[in-house]
Amino acid sequence: MHHEPQRPAGVCCTGRVTANAAVSTGLIRLDLELEMPAEFLPGQFAMLNPQPGSAAFVFNRPFSIYGIDGQAVSFLYRIVGRGTAAMGELVGEDRVGFMGPLGRPFPVREDDRPALLLGGGVGLPPVAAWLERWGRDGDLACFGARDGGDAPWQLLDARWGVSVDEVAGVPENRTAFHGRVTALGADRVAGVKGPGLVLACGPVPLLKAARDLARDIAWECWLSLEEHMGCGYGVCKGCVVPVRVDGPDDRTWRNATCCDEGPVFAAADIAWERYALPPVPEPGPGTMEAKP
C-alpha cells in the first residue's frame, strides 16, 4: 500500500524561455527559468500560458513536468492545437505563465520491487522523471513512438527500450522494437520474478493495455491520465474521471477530479466501465530489433 507523499508547495509566476527546440520530429523541449525556485514529484504537472497577461488564452494548458532544478523547469510537448502552436512560437526571453506543481504524483519508491515504466508520445515526462528520481538496476523503461524520427533518442539512454509503430527513422546506432510499447514491456518483463510496479502515461489505449498487462502478471499498476482541463486545481470540475468507491457492489462510483485527485490513479480505482474508451485493436506480438 502506498502512502501519498506530501505534495511540494505550488508557485504561480512566469518563466523566461531559455530553450524551445525540437528533440524529435514530434516533440519539443521547453526550458524555462522561473522567477522563484520550485520542486515537484514525478507525475505532477504545471498549467502553462504561452501569452500571460493577454486575453488570447483564457485557459492555461496542463503539461507534465519533465524536470525541475531550482528555478529551471523543463517540459516536452507536441503541437496539437492553438495553445501548443503558440508555445512553438516562443523564443528566448519570452515569458510563459506557470502555475505548479499540481496534482497527485506517482507513488514514491518504497521497496525493492522492480518497476516497469511505460511512456507513449507526450507521456514520456512523468515516467522519465520517476526513473530519474527513483530508478535503480532492474527497472524496465519503455518508450513508444510513432516512428524512429518521433523518438527523442538523445533523451533515452541505455536504460530505455524503444518501440515504434513504423520503423522508418530509427538511427543506425540504435535499435527499436516494432510494435506496441506494452508488447515491448511484456517482452522485457517476461522472466522477472516476484511482484513489481507498472507506471504508465500515454493515450488511453496504452493505459488500458498497461492495466491488462499489470493484471496478467499481478503487478501493482498506476496510471497518469490526460483529461482536458480548465482550472487545473479542482474548482471547475471539467476534468472528472469515474472512480470506484466502496459500496454494496463493485459498480459504485463517483467523479474524481483528474487535476487534483489525479492525474495519477491506481488502475484498480478507475471505474473503467464508465470511462470513455476508444476501441482497442487486437495487439500484435511485435518483433525485436527492427531497423529501417
* Residues lying near ligand FES in the complex (CB under 6 A): 229-232, 234-239, 257-259
The entry of ligand FAD, ligand FES, none near residue 99 (CB within 5 to 8 angstroms by kind) is none
- Minimum CB distance to ligand FES, residue 261 (Å): 9
- CB nearer to ligand FAD: give 18 or 84: 84
- CB nearer to ligand FAD: give 41 or 186: 41
Residues that bind ligand FAD (CB under 6 A): 45, 61-64, 75-78, 80-84, 122, 125, 226-229, 263
The answer to whether 145 and 78 have CB atoms below 8 angstroms apart is no
The entry of ligand FES, ligand FAD, none near residue 63 (CB within 5 to 8 angstroms by kind) is ligand FAD
Classified as helix, coil or strand, 54 is coil
Task: Give the distance, in angstroms, between the CA of residue 60 and the centroid of all CA atoms in the same chain.
Answer: 18
- Minimum CB distance to ligand FAD, residue 250 (Å): 27
- CB nearer to ligand FAD: give 14 or 74: 74
- Minimum CB distance to ligand FAD, residue 287 (Å): 29
The answer to whether 283 and 184 have CB atoms below 8 angstroms apart is no
The entry of ligand FES, ligand FAD, none near residue 64 (CB within 5 to 8 angstroms by kind) is ligand FAD
Residue with cell string 528566448: 92
Cα–Cα–Cα angle for 103, 104, 109, rounded to 5 degrees: 140
Task: Give the distance, in angstroms, between the CA of residue 272 and the centroid of all CA atoms in the same chain.
Answer: 19
- Minimum CB distance to ligand FAD, residue 73 (Å): 12
- State the DSSP H helix or E strand holding residue 214, giving kind and residue range, or none if neither: helix 204-217
The entry of ligand FES, ligand FAD, none near residue 84 (CB within 5 to 8 angstroms by kind) is ligand FAD
The answer to whether 8 and 41 have CB atoms below 8 angstroms apart is yes
Give the largest CA-CA distance in the chain: 57
- Minimum CB distance to ligand FES, residue 57 (Å): 15
- Minimum CB distance to ligand FAD, residue 248 (Å): 32
Query: Distance between CA atoms of 186 and 166, rounded to whole angstroms?
Result: 19
Query: Distance between CA atoms of 27 and 207, rounded to whole angstroms?
Result: 20
Q: Whose CB is nearest to ligand FAD?
A: 81
Taking each helix axis from N to C terminus, what angle separates 204-217 and 181-189, rounded to the nearest 10 degrees? 20
The entry of ligand FAD, ligand FES, none near residue 234 (CB within 5 to 8 angstroms by kind) is ligand FES
The entry of ligand FES, ligand FAD, none near residue 263 (CB within 5 to 8 angstroms by kind) is ligand FAD
The answer to whether 170 and 288 have CB atoms below 8 angstroms apart is no
